[in-house]
Amino acid sequence: MKPFRLVLWMSLTVLLAACGQGPQTSPAEVTALSAGTLPLDPADVAWRKVPVHPARLIPQDLVEPRLLRPTTAEVRVRALARGGEMAFLLEWDDPTADDLPGAARFSDACAVQMPVQTSADLPAPQMGETSRAVSITYWRASWQAEADGRGDTIRDLYPNASVDHYPFEAAPLAGDEAARREAALRYAPARALGNAMEGGRSTPVQDLLAEGPGTLTPAPVQESRGKGIRTKTGWAVVLVRKLPEGPPVGGRFQAAFAVWQGSEQEVGSRKMRTGWIPVNLEKAS
Amino acid sequence: MNPLSRRQFLERMGAAGFGALASSALGAWNLEAPENPLAVYPDRGWEKVYRDLWRVDSTFTFLCAPNDTHNCLLKAHVRNGVITRIGPSMRYGEAEDLYGNRTTHRWDPRVCQKGLALTRRFYGDRRISGCRVRAGFKKWVEDGFPRGENGRPPKEYFNRGRDEWVKVSHDKAAELVAAALENIAATYSGEEGRKRLLAQGYDEATVETLGGAGVRTLKFRGGMPLLGMTRVLGFYRMANSMALLDAHIRKVSPEQASGAKGFDNYSWHTDLPPGHPMVTGQQTIEFDLACVEHAQTVVVWGMNWITTKMPDAHWLTEARLKGTKVVVIACEYSATATKGDQVLVVRPGTTPALALGLCHVLLRDRLYDETYVKRWTDLPLLVRMDTLKLLRAEEVFGSAPAPLANATRVLAKGEKEPPPGTHREMLIPGEMRREWGDAVWWDRNAGLPRPVTRDEVGERSSVGDALLEGRVEVRLKDGSRVTCRPVFDLVKEYAAHFTPEATEALTWAPAQAVESLARNLAAAPGTTLFAVGMGPNQFFNNDNKDRAVFLLAALTGNVGKIGGNVGSFAGNHRVALFNGAPQYINENPFDLELDPAKPARIRQYWRPESAHYYNHEDHPLRVGNRLLTGKTHMPSPTKSLWFANANSILGNVKWHYNTVVNVLPRIEMIAVNEWWWSTSCEWADVVFGVDSWAELKHPDMTASVTNPFLCVFPRTPLRRVFETLGDVEVLALVGKKLAERTGDRRFADVWAFVNQGRTDAYLQRILDHSSNTKGYRFSELEARASQGIPALLNSRTSPKAVGYDQIADNRPWYTKTGRLEFYREEDEFIEAGENLPVHREPVDSTFHEPNVIVAPPHEALRPAGPEAYGVAKDDLSCETRCGRNVVLSWRETKASRHPLRAKGYGFVFHTPKYRHGAHTTPIDTDMVAVLFGPFGDIYRRDKRNPFVTEGYVDVNPADARELGIEDGDYVWVDGDPEDRPFRGWQKNEKDYRFARLLCRARYYPGTPRGVTRMWFNMYGTTPGSQEGQRTRPDGLAKNPRTNYQAMFRSGSHQSATRGWLKPTLMTDSLVRKNLFGQGIGKGFLPDVHCPTGAPREAFVKITRAEKGGIGGEGLWRPADLGIRPTYESEAMKIYLAGSFVTRRDGEERP
Amino acid sequence: MSRVFNWQIGREMAYWYPESRPRKQFAAVFDINKCIACQTCTLACKTTWTSGKGQEYMLWNNVESKPFGFFPLRWDLKLLEMLGAQRWEGRVYAGQTLFEAAPAGERVLGWRPQDEDYAYPNVGEDDCAGGVEGGTSLRVPHLSWFFYLPRICNHCTYPACLASCPRGSIYKRPEDGIVLLDQSRCRGYRECVKACPYKKVFFNPMTGTSEKCIACFPKIETGLVPQCFANCIGKIRLAGFVSTPENARPENPVDYLVHVRKIALPLFPQFGLEPNVYYIPPVHAPKRFLEQMFGPGAGAAVAAYLKAPDDPDLAGLLGLFGSTERLIPRWKRQGETVFGLEEGGGEILRVPLREPVHVRMALDSKLGVARTNCP
């Protein structure tokens, strides 16, 4: 366990110890309590009184490449709402913490999906469909590790690596930070194109839009917030995001959830997911 | 509510502030998966990032010239002032000479992976910025050079290899060096100096060579001077200018002054094939590798051509496409073996025997080229059986030596040799001519002896129906009778000992193959090239090897022709390609010519010396009661060592660990010019940071012995970012400091043109005075070079082929008889039992008794055995072994055993060169290193790895299994405990800890049982690298104080080697051409006739140290995965058999 | 899945997308008999394209020793094992391609190397099959053997990477057939890494995207050969464009070697990707191993190569390799000279079959100096 993760884990255990037995469950749907503030920290006491919805996860086995063998059984969801925003706390069991990128190392991750636009008949839960976009808030453990302080060098991934030279760090560039940064980007094409899937990220979450499988695209505005911590049995992740456009239908929004276990080589469409689950916006009592 | 239309959706998004998306979405694809990316892709704008990565601001040309002979003009691509990448110039096809001859583009590209990776050396963290001085040394100088009773400095100042370093300016470093040079020279000058040296225990013979001149304890070495005619050769100019220092210290006149000593190079590297001068009278026979295009057969003999001659490897593979048969002889199934039409795998160090075995077939069945033998060799000449000397015409006919006219001039008494570049014929000192006389052959028709002069060679030969076999009684002028035998007869009798069967038993080459190869060579005389490599040359018997190989070549008419010749390929050496070099090296420092337009006046004050004595614990060879080092060779004590462009003289010195532990403490200053922190720097006192090839601000030039090009190092526009100076500027700076100390401004004026930025003036002088460059303007050559275009040397031919001049023009060779000489009549050779081209077993790398002369009883072999030297016959200690002349028949030899075999030592351990490194530039840059061998891992998942790769020993799998060693395990490799890794290791744990070789073992099916191999060369362990591995969190074997990066956890490929001295390479009598020009001399000559050592020899014990799996757990992964030899998984077995596919069709299988 | 025609296996086969051939197809010929494993190609690529962070381990171009060399470890062995023994009927492949053998839920039969499989990039260097116990004498074919296999992306006609990408972020350029991976769209799923049988797509852990050989398109676009060709000192490489068999033009050097002489063969044609790097098989290696790797034409190719000394066209063209940085669309031989020509027939360069020998006067009387080979 990485030191920074250890600290968080300890603070959480202390807190759970303090709050006695767990909250009641909300079996049918996600019950979102409205709150004065939306806590970003999964360890925040505010989550204690929020009912848990145990959402069963099923393998994504409709589009290639498919996940044929089920892994994560369920994700425990809680929600708090405030104005146009909603905070989700997702917890699931995952014996291995996978947050280190590598050639064949995949990261643990989770996501909340909501329609861009509320409507009676929902877009396909599988990433929406043409002209019926869904907006997805995605959290990745490796991004969290970076947000928690992991550096952006090869030695942060391979501690004993020995590299003699990077053209963008050569002596003649010493002192010219701008030139160095520009040169460094040239040698990281994806970053140069603003497609930072790893490294140089300020937040562990990403807002995405989709209109069906294969169409996933970063949203033009990145506004969601999130934070994940390692628990005794797996992960606890808070995702704070915008509500869909338009009024809730029947007082309810719809959300779908997905979980990826890096150790199971789960990535992209190889994931455990739910269908649409109603999110009932309740008045705080 | 109806689903939104795409338009509505986009409008809402826009309204919601998703303007960016709305606009980009008008292209409307980015929320759609591409329909069929095989056919069409919507938006390819992103491709610009790679076009941008390709773009550069500017380019320039620089010359890459390590000691690999290739000399590649490379194009550097610059962006933001950084060389981002390097490439070939692609303009070797435009090279021209003075006569309009031109090369073709088949010469392009010239480059290699090490050249491309130079960016990592130009900018890596071992780059030397400014100068470094060892703290203790600095203090010693600043304390005023305190010394003990016998002159030795106190130990506490000389904690080399472990001391701290101080960064200083070049000016300060030069001051310290100048002061030390003067102090050391003064300390060891005169009677006082003599007493001190004797008190310090130096061999009296070496002390006497000083003649009171302490400057002769100062050793200078420009490593491989051909590689930098001013930069590197400048160190000898510096040595010459030390005569000024001697005059200053001893107050002697210019006539009585002595210069310093200069170490050898080509011979020091064991690149010199020492038998070449014994047969041909000059340094080396070799040919540009492109000659292979014109041969019917090429025998690639102990040469890993495709790995060590990479830019010229295509000549070999392309010649093959045109029908040249490639025969590869190696002691393993080598990289080059894969290009062979025939491959012979043989026992290491048995080349002389193999050549003799081939000769035997030719002699036995009379398949030899009789015309060539009679015209060009000494084989028909008569040898007196009483004295074992050649029979002289004078003795028979009483006639005085004949006058010589064939491209030869005998110098009148006292006549001085003119400058070498002006020579048009061979120049022979009168007394030597008289000494030689003329030889005699026996006319079978007339039944009479006939004289033959050295003029009479080739078509001028008078040798007719000569007696080749049998003996004759010759009546001498004085009436006495003497039994004589032709050299041919003596050689034939000796070679008969090497029947194909005996040859197979001795060399492991199948008898059948020996028979057939000999016949094939004889079938087309004069059409075979023998490309002999460094392999056979790095054994103690290397002169035997040359003499036997030449015998084979001569018997098949293969010396001196474009498509039929012998070549020895190792290192780049022939400084004489610029035989006007003395204009620069030997300019008289007392009488300097400061007008660049005028030639310099020459006087050589410095003296050359073989570095092998320094390598041999700084003493000559004494065996029993005999001093076996000739007078002309005698070294002086080494008190100061300053060198450039070489790691080989210290960091990679043979017997390295003995040198640093036992020799260095007696040396008072070690100064190094380097741009990359090498093992030598680790052990130095002063390190001058100098320009890399990419930053040269003073031009330079070089040429090659394997290609026809004259290459200039052009000045480059690259900014100096590492506080460096050029090598010549460093020399000039020290000259300036000496001038200041002594008040003699000539020290500074020696470098006047350097100080004026006119270094090219020295180069122009060299061009003007060199046979093959006269007519060139340096400025023009440099201008073309900076465009990536080299020039052609105006040598007799392109491609060059040494010996062509003799054969084409019927000129004599540079020998006593003017012929290729296979018989050596000099006393040293008779005493050594090597008057004939014999086979000696290797001095260490043999399973049998080392260094024995394998021979039957033979009338002409009468060596002085150990007893004659007052040594016990069974004394096989390493030192006496060097001078041990014991004859055993092959049967006796076969029955004998290497003395260490009883102690569990059983493996020949050899250290050949490889594709991943050049001699002077070991492999310590990540991207080259990671591909060096099977253990590369840039991410170093196993923290034990000293670097991203590491040294390893290749062992035959069956041998490894017997030793309980798994593929990839760590093992200890130990040489002769008598003195390896260093003398006295038993009582010196502190140094033994870093000197003993620890490395990976690789299962290597290509090496015969009993033969192990470690590639040459990776940077070895130093106290600092080991400290790094102990203390650094990443476990790198990297010196925390210097960044020196070792590739071993302990020891190196030099842990098992030793310095060896061979008596036949230390004679005062061998006749040979001088280094420059056509003059003849005899005895010691650096890089021509002097010791070469035996760096490839070691007989070792191998024991398992650690498991190969990561962190020492279990098997090394590739073995565990079943993809390693003898670990094959079922699938791997199917794969190897090619059984994953089958074919059902009529096509037959062979 | 669609039905497409793959001439290398002599039949139609299944592919994820419908057949669509580019206007021109980038192709290469590698003469293994000339390869010296110097790794200059590897460094040329490395120093040009993959010197960044997260790319340290990547070798878009690598050279390995077969049969014991693999980068990544087991790359071809593992897939051959998964595919199982397959059969050729004459020149028609009767077995299953990787697309036809794709298991449920997958588009391609593939495997994803573990992180550690990218260590030891030159494992097996110069390790020979057979082995040497003591002294021996070998003749062609060698009983102990290994050979060098230089590898880049094959810019396949039917790329598995392209087929496998769920986002369609890998595409084939219509103008030159170069296969590119869109760095702005990739999300690092690594389906392509899993699907490419040659394992020539690499994941960059510091950008989170997969990266691959781009055939130096910025050079191709200006008429120059890629870096690993321009720097090849073994002069084993010829870059150009390959036609389909029915459109082969003998004056096109690639077509000549691939289609006319059939001496240059695809790497593992049985995988079904129609790869466009064509190898001249090593003459000293065993025929069965070569057929496993290069298909049923291997034996005939070796036989033709061994006859090169009586075949000046072949010897000449192979001698033209690597002598210019420009692409050579056309070639011809006239006597002892071989020409590289532009599409329009203009001369790019000419080289002789044999490098000439220049002999100079022993004495240059004008300059009054001797010219000698032994100065």
User: Given an 8 Å threshold on Cβ–Cβ distance, is C168 in contact with A214?
Assistant: yes
Question: Tokens 């081939």 identify what position?
Answer: B358
**Per the structure block, which two tokens stand in for B918?**
């050049």
User: Given an 8 Å threshold on Cβ–Cβ distance, is B1036 in contact with A162?
Assistant: yes
The beta strands (E) that lie in B678-746 are given as 686-689, 700-703, 709-713
pTM: 0.96
Against chain C, the chains showing at least 3 CB pairs within 8 Å are A, B
Asked if the C-beta of B113 comes within 8 angstroms of chain C's C-beta atoms, the answer is: yes
- pLDDT tens digits along A37-93: 999 999 999 999 999 999 999 999 999 999 999 999 999 999 999 999 999 999 999
Interface test with C, best of A67, A69, A163, A191 (most C CBs within 10 A): A191
Q: Which of A121, A160, A187 sits opposite B943 (nearest CB)?
A: A160
Q: Which of B50, B81, B938 sits opposite A163 (nearest CB)?
A: B938
Q: Are B1123 and C68 contacting, i.e. CB atoms less than 8 angstroms apart? A: yes
The average pLDDT across B375-386 equals 98
The average pLDDT across B393-409 equals 96
What is the spatial distance between Cα A195 and Cα C183, in angstroms, rounded to a whole number? Answer: 7
Which of these, A111, A72, A69, A88, lies nearest to A268 by C-alpha position? A111
Average pLDDT of the residues of chain B: 95
Query: CA of C16: which chain A residue's CA is closest?
Result: A64
- pLDDT tens digits along B749-763: 999 999 999 999 999
- A109 by Cβ neighbours in 10 Å (0-12 / 13-18 / 19+) ranks as buried
Instruction: List the Cα angle B26/B27/B29 in 5-degree steps.
Output: 115
Asked if the C-beta of C217 comes within 8 angstroms of chain A's C-beta atoms, the answer is: no
pLDDT score of A10 = 47
Terminus-to-terminus CA distance in chain B, angstroms?
77
**A184: which chain C residues are within 8 Å (Cβ-Cβ)?**
52-53
pLDDT score of B18 = 40
**C1: which chain B residues are within 8 Å (Cβ-Cβ)?**
none
Query: CA of C74: which chain B residue's CA is closest?
Result: B1123
- B99 by Cβ neighbours in 10 Å (0-12 / 13-18 / 19+) ranks as middle
CA distance readout (Å), A110 to A24, A88, B71, B308 = 23, 11, 58, 55
**What is the share, in percent, of chain C residues with pLDDT greater than 90?**
99
What is the spatial distance between Cα A247 and Cα B519, in angstroms, rounded to a whole number? Answer: 99
The average pLDDT across B366-392 equals 98
Give how far A206 is from chain C: nearest CA, Å: 12
Sequence-separated (6 or more) residues with CB below 8 Å from residue B1060 = B540, B843, B844, B878, B882, B1091, B1093, B1094, B1097
Length of chain C: 375
What confidence category does residue A242 fall into, taking pLDDT thresholds of 50, 70 and 90? very high
What is the spatial distance between Cα A49 and Cα A22, in angstroms, rounded to a whole number? Answer: 8
What is the spatial distance between Cα B360 and Cα B18, in angstroms, rounded to a whole number? Answer: 92
Q: State yes or no: pLDDT of B856 exceeds 50.
A: yes
**Per the structure block, which two tokens stand in for C106?**
């997958």
User: Angle, nearest 10°, between helix axes B313-321 and C312-320?
Assistant: 160
In this structure, how many other beta carbons lie within 10 angstroms of the beta carbon of residue C171? 24
Residues belonging to chain A with any Cβ–Cβ distance to chain B shorter than 8 Å? 116-117, 119-121, 130-133, 154-155, 158-165, 167, 170-173, 176, 179, 183, 186-187, 189, 192-193, 209-215, 217, 219-221, 245-246
Interface test with B, best of C126, C347, C364 (most B CBs within 10 A): C126
What confidence category does residue B19 fall into, taking pLDDT thresholds of 50, 70 and 90? very low
- pLDDT tens digits along C81-91: 999 999 999 99
Tally C-beta pairs within 8 A across A and C: 132
What confidence category does residue B1050 fall into, taking pLDDT thresholds of 50, 70 and 90? very high
C 68-107 → A contacts, CB under 8 A: 104-107
Query: CA of C169: which chain A residue's CA is closest?
Result: A214
Give how far C214 is from chain A: nearest CA, Å: 13
- pLDDT tens digits along C150-169: 999 999 999 999 999 999 99
Give how far C249 is from chain B: nearest CA, Å: 24
- pLDDT tens digits along B773-783: 999 999 999 99
User: Given an 8 Å threshold on Cβ–Cβ distance, is C137 in contact with B342?
Assistant: yes
Asked if the C-beta of C306 comes within 8 angstroms of chain B's C-beta atoms, the answer is: no
What is the spatial distance between Cα B881 and Cα B876, in angstroms, rounded to a whole number? Answer: 5
Cis peptide before B1017 (omega within 30 of 0): yes
Q: DSSP class of residue C257?
A: I
- C158 by Cβ neighbours in 10 Å (0-12 / 13-18 / 19+) ranks as buried
For residue B952, the Cα-to-chain-centroid distance in whole angstroms is: 22
At B848, which amino acid appears?
H
Asked if the C-beta of B124 comes within 8 angstroms of chain C's C-beta atoms, the answer is: no
CA distance readout (Å), B613 to B624, B815, B957 = 18, 27, 39
Strand order in the sheet with B165-168: B165-168, B131-134, B686-689, B669-674, B640-644, B218-222, B261-263, B607-609
**B943: which chain A residues are within 8 Å (Cβ-Cβ)?**
160
C 138-197 → B contacts, CB under 8 A: 138-140, 142, 144-148, 158-159, 162, 165-174, 180, 182-185
CA distance readout (Å), C302 to B557, C88, C262, C277, C322 = 34, 19, 10, 17, 22
**What is the share, in percent, of chain B residues with pLDDT greater than 90?**
95
The beta strands (E) that lie in chain A are given as 30-34, 53-56, 58-59, 74-82, 85-93, 109-115, 134-140, 205-210, 217-218, 225-230, 234-242, 252-260, 272-273, 277-282
pLDDT score of A6 = 46
- pLDDT tens digits along B1090-1106: 999 999 999 999 999 99
pLDDT score of A200 = 83
Q: Are B667 and B684 contacting, i.e. CB atoms less than 8 angstroms apart? A: no
The average pLDDT across C186-211 equals 98
User: Given an 8 Å threshold on Cβ–Cβ distance, is C105 in contact with A216?
Assistant: no
Three-class secondary structure of residue C300 per DSSP: helix
- pLDDT tens digits along B547-600: 999 999 999 999 999 999 999 999 899 999 999 999 999 999 999 999 999 999
Q: DSSP class of residue B374?
A: H
At B993, which amino acid appears?
R
Give how far B569 is from chain C: nearest CA, Å: 16
Query: CA of B959: which chain C residue's CA is closest?
Result: C133
User: Given an 8 Å threshold on Cβ–Cβ distance, is B1117 in contact with C73?
Assistant: yes
- pLDDT tens digits along B460-482: 999 999 999 999 999 999 999 99
C 107-136 → A contacts, CB under 8 A: 107, 112-115, 117-118
Sequence-separated (6 or more) residues with CB below 8 Å from residue B396 = B440, B449, B451, B474, B475, B476, B477
What is the spatial distance between Cα A183 and Cα B718, in angstroms, rounded to a whole number? Answer: 19
**Per the structure block, which two tokens stand in for B237?**
């100019």
In this structure, how many other beta carbons lie within 10 angstroms of the beta carbon of residue B944? 19
User: Given an 8 Å threshold on Cβ–Cβ distance, is C134 in contact with B1008?
Assistant: yes
Which of these, B129, B115, B124, lies nearest to B690 by C-alpha position? B129
Q: What is the ipTM of this complex?
A: 0.96
**C166: which chain A residues are within 8 Å (Cβ-Cβ)?**
63-65, 213-214, 268-269
What is the spatial distance between Cα B670 and Cα B1044, in angstroms, rounded to a whole number? Answer: 18
Three-class secondary structure of residue B587 per DSSP: strand
Q: State yes or no: pLDDT of B167 exceeds 70.
A: yes
User: Given an 8 Å threshold on Cβ–Cβ distance, is C105 in contact with A66?
Assistant: yes
The β-bridge relationship of strands C363-364 and C209-212 is unpaired
- pLDDT tens digits along B1022-1043: 999 999 999 999 999 999 999 9
- pLDDT tens digits along C30-62: 999 999 999 999 999 999 999 999 999 999 999
What is the spatial distance between Cα B848 and Cα B359, in angstroms, rounded to a whole number? Answer: 24
Terminus-to-terminus CA distance in chain A, angstroms?
39
Query: CA of B129: which chain A residue's CA is closest?
Result: A171
Tally C-beta pairs within 8 A across B and C: 465
Sequence-separated (6 or more) residues with CB below 8 Å from residue C87 = B1141, B1142, B1143, B1144, C93, C94, C95
**B574: which chain C residues are within 8 Å (Cβ-Cβ)?**
375
Interface test with C, best of B31, B101, B106, B1072 (most C CBs within 10 A): B106
Q: Are C170 and C180 contacting, i.e. CB atoms less than 8 angstroms apart? A: yes
Asked if the C-beta of B770 comes within 8 angstroms of chain C's C-beta atoms, the answer is: yes
Q: Which of A68, A106, A153 sits opposite C53 (nearest CB)?
A: A153
**A195: which chain C residues are within 8 Å (Cβ-Cβ)?**
183-186, 207, 209
Q: State yes or no: pLDDT of B705 exceeds 60.
A: yes
User: Longest C-alpha distance within chain C, in Å?
Assistant: 85
- pLDDT tens digits along B954-963: 999 999 999 9
What is the spatial distance between Cα C315 and Cα C312, in angstroms, rounded to a whole number? Answer: 5
What is the spatial distance between Cα B711 and Cα B720, in angstroms, rounded to a whole number? Answer: 23
What is the spatial distance between Cα B1126 and Cα B1138, in angstroms, rounded to a whole number? Answer: 17
The average pLDDT across C99-123 equals 97
What confidence category does residue B200 fall into, taking pLDDT thresholds of 50, 70 and 90? very high
Strand partners, C201: C212
Asked if the C-beta of B119 comes within 8 angstroms of chain C's C-beta atoms, the answer is: yes
User: Given an 8 Å threshold on Cβ–Cβ distance, is B339 in contact with C18?
Assistant: no
What confidence category does residue A283 fall into, taking pLDDT thresholds of 50, 70 and 90? low
Average pLDDT of the residues of chain A: 91
Terminus-to-terminus CA distance in chain C, angstroms?
73
User: Given an 8 Å threshold on Cβ–Cβ distance, is A195 in contact with C209?
Assistant: yes
What is the spatial distance between Cα B315 and Cα B217, in angstroms, rounded to a whole number? Answer: 46
**B926: which chain A residues are within 8 Å (Cβ-Cβ)?**
162-165
Interface test with A, best of B5, B6, B8, B80 (most A CBs within 10 A): B80
Q: Are B770 and B421 contacting, i.e. CB atoms less than 8 angstroms apart? A: yes
Three-class secondary structure of residue A145 per DSSP: helix
User: Given an 8 Å threshold on Cβ–Cβ distance, is A103 in contact with C205?
Assistant: yes
Q: State yes or no: pLDDT of B24 exceeds 80.
A: no
Interface test with B, best of C233, C292, C353 (most B CBs within 10 A): C233
**Per the structure block, which two tokens stand in for C59?**
């070798």
